[in-house]
Amino acid sequence: MPKISIIVSSEKLDKLLPAMTLATTAAIMGWESEVFFTFWGLLALKKGYVPREVSSDYKGYEDELKRAVSSGVMPSWREVLEQGKKTGRLKIYACSTTMSLLGIKSEDLVEYVDNVVGAATFLDSAKDSDISLFIS
């Protein structure tokens, strides 16, 4: 079975949505899919987190993107993630080192996090991937 591994290091909406779209599309297509949230991307896994902005590269499109998501024209990044989780082929990992750095505890994370792992554990799993992406 093909496999995709994605590292997410940004909590910005314009980074989360494409990462989840790719991970979920792969899972729906029957691929094994895994996403590792690290550094600022880990903030997106905190309970109650809502992305409030886009990266500076796409500031000019921020209103359009937020309007599309809030009006239901396009699903939120979490809705896309939940679709992928329903396949049973999408795994979500939180970076243990970043959790320590930012003072985030396991109980602060959303329920769909499959495991808290370090970079070495994730890279060991990702080394067999057909596609590897770094979203920052």
pLDDT at 98: 98
pLDDT band at 64 (very low <50, low <70, confident <90, very high): confident
Average pLDDT, the chain: 94
Domains of the chain: 6-135 (3.40.1260.10)
Over the stretch 15-29, which tens digit does the pLDDT of each residue have?
999 999 999 999 999
d(CA 131, CA 33): 10
**Segment 112-125, tens digit of pLDDT:** 999 999 999 999 99
Residue 41 has pLDDT above 90, yes or no: yes
Is this structure's pTM higher than 0.95?
no
Distances (CA, A) of 9 to 13, 19, 42, 44, 136: 12, 10, 7, 10, 5
